[in-house]
Structure 1
Amino acid sequence: MTEQEGSKHPFYEATIATKPIFEGRVISLQVDTVTLPNGETATREIVRHPGAVAVLALLDGKMLVVEQYRKPLEKAQTEVPAGKLDAGEAPEAAALRELEEETGFQAKSIVHLHSFSTSPGFADEIIHLYFAEELDRGELRPDEDEFLTCEAITLEQALEYVRDGRICDAKTLLAVQAWRIYSLTGLF
């Protein structure tokens, strides 16, 4: 939905002012002053993010996942390969790049499954989830500050990881559920 389309909604909040707070490598933070539908004003703290991609990649019937330490959670997480969009980069190109960088596999083709908001109450990040099945060995090239391991897990293992809390991020939970539906129906 565009801002113009949103402005027609009865709960639309018009921005009166924007105050930049922080500009980082990945995110920025701003505080917007808005007019509420009842005419009052309020502030909204907003995290701006360039967007990201995630890949549900199946190799011989198993899902490729990476394990890495996530500082905000202070624990290691098992996740599908993923990463942020570079400036001007198409999501499909980013998905292919991230898959190879993090797993060492290349996909002949990928299919877009869904794009979703991660935390719409305070962030504008959109993650584009892709599916890849025909994989060839490529070159593992993690970012210089990225330390991870890659493994291929069964659907049963993935569900166990969810129960154990090893998988708890939204993009990987969505990927596991998509895989579950795919395994049952052959469709996404």
Structure 2
Amino acid sequence: MNWKRKARRGVSLLGHAVGYDSLERPDGKQIRRLWFDPPDSVAIVARTGDELVLIEEYRPRLGEQVLSCPAGRLDPGESYEQAAKRELREETGYEAEQVELLETYYPTAGMRKRRAIVYAENLSPGAQHLEPDEFIEVRTVPIEAAIDTVRAGPVCGWSLPPLLVAREAGIL
């Protein structure tokens, strides 16, 4: 198929680029498609012994408590692995000795951002360093029960996809 981009328009909204593309479809019809460019992000599958470290927090947009992998945005100039170590330390207090990038993907087609899944192991416990608007409870679950445990509640992109990728990689 031969799509043609005719024009791109965008503005900055809360520090993120938002806009639309004017496109010509293969059948000649003109359409507009909205896009949003938030920072890239990382989800961390963190193992300590025979358990995974998960976080439980209230997600205002969903209106529910969600159990998920620790996760967050990359800071400018940060690699996925660096962000994973930082976010894991901030959200859970755990310090990872080793991290490994498992996968990067586009979480939705409407956002021009990539999400990475990073595996973290050889963890040392410590104190959380939460941001003022974060209220996170750290939970550990047996590795063999992790997928069923997150599926028992509301599932989001920070919970099931990272665990499934880790399972495919032979980690779970």
The answer as to whether partners of 1:55 and 1:132 remain within 8 angstroms in 2 is yes
Whether 2:153 is the aligned partner of 1:165: answer: yes
> Structure 1 residue 108 and structure 2 residue 97: aligned?
yes
Kindly indicate whether residue 5 of structure 2 is the aligned counterpart of residue 15 of structure 1. Answer: yes
1:98 matched residue in structure 2: 87
Residue by residue over 1:32-84, the C-alpha shift from the partner in whole angstroms, topping out at 9 and shown as x without a partner, is 11122233321001111111011100111111011111111111111101001
Asked if 1:144 corresponds to 2:124, the answer is: no
8 Å contact from structure 2 (residues 96, 124) kept in 1: yes
Match of 2:123 among 121, 135, 140: 135
TM-score (normalised: structure 2): 0.88
Match for 1:63 among 44, 49, 52?
52
Counterpart residue identity of residue 110, structure 1? V
1:28 Cα offset (Å): 3.4
Compared with structure 1, are the counterparts of its residues 70 and 29 closer, same or farther at alpha carbon in structure 2 (3 Å cutoff)? same
Distance between the aligned counterparts of 1:55 and 1:72, measured in 2? Answer: 21
State the distance in 2 between where 1:125 and 1:28 align. Answer: 11
Give the aligned residue type for 1:170: G
Q: Is the 8 A contact 1:54 1:127 kept in 2?
A: yes
Task: Identify the structure with the greater strand proportion.
Answer: 2
AA aligned opposite 1:70: R
Distance 1:48 1:74 in 2: 24
Q: Kindly indicate whether the alpha-carbon contact (under 8 Å) linking 1:21 and 1:31 is maintained by their aligned counterparts in 2.
A: no
State the alpha-carbon separation in 2 of the partners of residues 15 and 138 from structure 1: 50
Q: Which runs of 5+ in 1 are unaligned?
A: 1-9
Number of the residue aligned with 1:84: 73
In 1, the alpha carbon distance for the partners of 2:106 and 2:111 equals 8
Measured in 2, the distance between the counterparts of 1:152 and 1:36 equals: 49
Shift of 1:170: 2.6
Between Structure 1 and Structure 2, which shows a larger proportion of helix residues?
1
Secondary structure at 2:159 match in 1 = helix
Of residues 29-38 and 54-63 in structure 1, the stretch that sits farther from structure 2 once superposed is 29-38
SS of residue in 2 equivalent to 1:119:
coil
TM-score, normalising length from structure 1? 0.81
- Identity across matched positions, percent: 27
Q: Deviations over 1:4-39 (max 9, x none)?
A: xxxxxx34x3322223255124x4321111122233
State the Cα RMSD in Å: 2.1
Shift of 1:85: 1.0
Moved over 4 A (4+): none
Show structure 2 runs of 5+ residues with no match: none
Relative contact order (alpha carbons < 8 A, sep ≥ 6): 1 or 2 greater? 2
